[in-house]
A and B are shown apart, each in its own frame.
Chain A
């Protein structure tokens, strides 16, 4: 198949092959299922179907995503790629949730361990599952604010080495510490959402006491201006990371609590023999519980303040980024943003003046016409 971009893709061939491999996997899985169902009544259930159902569903989704991914790249209209990227993103969450539901159903349908009630049983399961759930949430909530600003997502990361060069003499140890920070955050997420904020605050404290103070020192020497701008940029970026951590912590926290509610509800329904009969039922319970929980968080003044701080700190980073870019662009024969803004303002004011004058001329012409008509009547 030839795409409009001239790329050759044997899309349907690849699809057929993927279909065949998926069908093979399915056949293998069902053979395991047959062996299980042939067991006599009362025999302990084999793990066969459980081992096979998750992978088969994942494989199928993976295959579908790959195929649709290829297709959306070559879609003949603009909206295809975006729509399908979102659709596939939703499918991934859907898949992770399915995995959760399958495992939860397996876990909760078994008899509670001796001495444990259903509540304790689900809490035990939930604890072990939390890590993967947080990973799913990261994928879901990870809407970048950089992209809508027309600012490449990597820009923040690019800023760090840029500032790092200017300040390498002082900041290298801390730049190295930053590299290890994601790992620390990942570890914290395993312990719980709130812990990630704790890690960052742990990092921020020595930073403020040492290099934070250095960054606020007045810069000296011929490169004083440039260094000063870089200092402000680094400070803004640190503040942005700090607020971002708190923001996501709040969302993770509430989503985790919502999941606990879902688990509690599941436990209650299982206890009454009213477990969801289909994955669709569970999915509805899950997303609506989460939406309600997030909505409650959104209504709080604390969240509004946090959101305001997040946007504000992002704007400050962007502002500093603009400043340093203008500093570097000064040497080139191209207009800067500030110069263009001055031009835009002059143009705006001139257009306004022209419109005002045109209106006045028109009013005067109308008055002249009326005066002429009145004079004509008097003469006649």
Chain B
């Protein structure tokens, strides 16, 4: 039988020398990387309440859309995934396509935030952000785009406050938590979240990260880094890798009561799709969602499988609804080359067709929107701050 090693010893040695060369060159290159910026698209802080901050991105076209788009991201991980770097930025692409964008940053919960509930996040901070955007744009209704868990929040919000949302877009959003396609859905049912919250109060982000890494241990804890070794001499590749690595491990902790309800009522009891979820005493009825809906999912998403996202379109009463999928996984959908070419144009085009404003006076509701929050914002010293 043939022995590849003895036949290819010289080739093997050549491979080793080549890898060694990459290591040395890689080190030289790494010494020249001073810092890696993320979220570089210019934006202003327009509102702040507790840890939640609302940013407004500076438009990149002369006449941006008359109806602003509010983006709400998940509590898990940081929203700069939407604006990771200039050539991998869904936000920038949307701005280039004429959108007027606001984005919520939930911040990093500390020990004092353990009692924050889903009601505080959705009927509190998110509602405040929506009202602030409504007030600034002097519109009754704005466009809302929710991503991942932020998408679930957006759907709940749109069901509770349909009068404030003109168009709803959700991306990689879990709605039907009863699916067995994703390991998170299976594992969460066996998790005693009550014990975790009672013990830890605020769940450390790194603890959740350990769970995410376990989902694909060989790929995420080994092969990814072996791949880096292979590419250590390519500056751009290493910079992209490190930037993504920074995002992956930049994991905020989770407010105890909010994650308790999210796991118990959604992952375990699957109440949302059954129209039985209650937020602050109010039942969340998905049939109240009657505005145009665009539902986007990733075909190879191992965190939010398509079977968890797709049922939304059948659960709402919207007449104008569309579903759109991209090849790729949960993260690739924001940053892949395909995403940069397809996703933003599709969203922008869909929104533009549904964001033509009738001519007429602004309602009292829009003028008033956000006024209590305006007071709160003044107290906190609302400041415009270039980020």
Contacts and interface: CB of A to CB of B under 8 A. Distances in A.
Contacts of B385: none
Interface string A290-331: 110011001100001101100110011011001000000000
Nearest to A143: B210
A203 interface: no
Contacts of B215: 298
Contacts of A361: 372, 375
Interface stretch (A108-116, A152-160, A208-216): A108-116
B1 A110 contact: yes
A347 B35 contact: no
A278 B200 contact: no
Contacts of A62: none
Contacts of B6: 45, 49-50, 106, 109
Contact of A109 (B2, B20, B219): B2
Interface in A24-50: 26, 30, 33, 45, 49-50
Contact of A348 (B35, B116, B191, B216): B116
Interface stretch (B158-166, B181-189, B326-334): B181-189
A90 B4 contact: no
Contacts of B229: 87, 90-91, 94
A363 to B, nearest CB: 8
A278 B5 CA distance: 8
Interface in A64-102: 64, 67-68, 71, 75-77, 79-80, 82-83, 86-87, 89-91, 93-94, 102
Contact of A362 (B209, B241, B375): B375
Contacts of A195: none
Given A311-B196, A312-B195, A26 B13 contact: yes
Interface stretch (A175-183, A237-245, A268-276): A268-276
B314 interface: no
Nearest to A104: B5
A83 B226 contact: no
Nearest to B183: A298
Contact of B1 (A22, A108, A148, A276): A108
Contacts of A15: 24, 27
Contacts of A89: 221, 225
B306 interface: no
A145 B222 contact: no
A22 B16 CA distance: 11
Interface residues of B, number: 75
A319 B199 contact: yes
A341 B50 CA distance: 18
A69 to B, nearest CB: 12
B64 to A, nearest CB: 30
B217 A291 contact: yes
Contacts of A283: 226
B376 A304 contact: no
Nearest to A340: B111
Interface in B193-235: 195-196, 198-201, 204, 206-207, 209-210, 213-219, 221-226, 228-229
A345 interface: yes
Q: Identify whether the interface residues of B are mostly helix, strand, loop, or mixed.
A: helix
Contact of A344 (B112, B192, B376): B112
A340 B199 CA distance: 14
B23 to A, nearest CB: 6
Interface in B32-47: 33-36
Given A53-B12, A148-B204, A148-B207, A277 B4 contact: yes
Contacts of B206: 147-148, 150
A366 interface: yes
Contacts of A22: 20
B187 A83 contact: no
A355 interface: yes
B286 to A, nearest CB: 27
Interface in B153-179: none
Contacts of A340: 111
Contacts of A105: 3-5
Contacts of A93: 222
A304 B34 contact: no
27 contacts: A67-B27, A80-B30, A82-B249, A83-B242, A87-B229, A105-B3, A105-B4, A109-B4, A140-B221, A148-B207, A270-B1, A275-B2, A277-B8, A298-B186, A299-B186, A304-B189, A307-B191, A311-B191, A311-B196, A315-B195, A315-B196, A315-B200, A316-B195, A316-B199, A319-B195, A351-B50, A362-B371
Given A275-B1, A305-B190, A318-B200, 20 more contacts: A26-B13, A71-B30, A77-B36, A80-B30, A83-B228, A94-B222, A94-B226, A105-B4, A109-B2, A109-B3, A109-B4, A148-B209, A273-B2, A287-B222, A291-B217, A291-B218, A316-B195, A316-B199, A319-B195, A362-B371
